Amino acid sequence: MAEDIKNIIEEGALIVDVRTKEEYEQGHIPGSLNIPLDEIGKAMEWLQKDVPVVLVCASGNRSSHAVMVLKANGFEKVYNGGSWDSLGDIKAGGCPVR
């Protein structure tokens, strides 16, 4: 699964870290976007539904919840990347928004 996630990221997926701002500031994937879980609803206004999104957090629990929320609102290309630090030295690409 981790290899699949890495391939999805390498093909241009947006990485969204759903941890709090404070957690994100303590360490994160370079190039990732911080949208705390409690703000994911607002982010749906500008996230592009046709751009793959890999969601990460500290353990995979919050990112799993964010995947369910996005899928329930019409986002199809959303993936749970689990713990942000489990992805090693991967680097995110750009941040496409509408």
Q: Which residue numbers are catalytic?
A: 57
Instruction: List the beta bridge partners of residue 54.
Output: 15, 79
CB 56 within 8 A of CB 17: yes
CB-based contact 5:90 (threshold 8 Å): no
> What distance in Å separates the CA atoms of residue 49 and residue 12, rounded to the nearest whole number?
14
Task: Report how far residue 95's alpha carbon sits from residue 74's, in angstroms, rounded to the nearest whole number.
Answer: 19
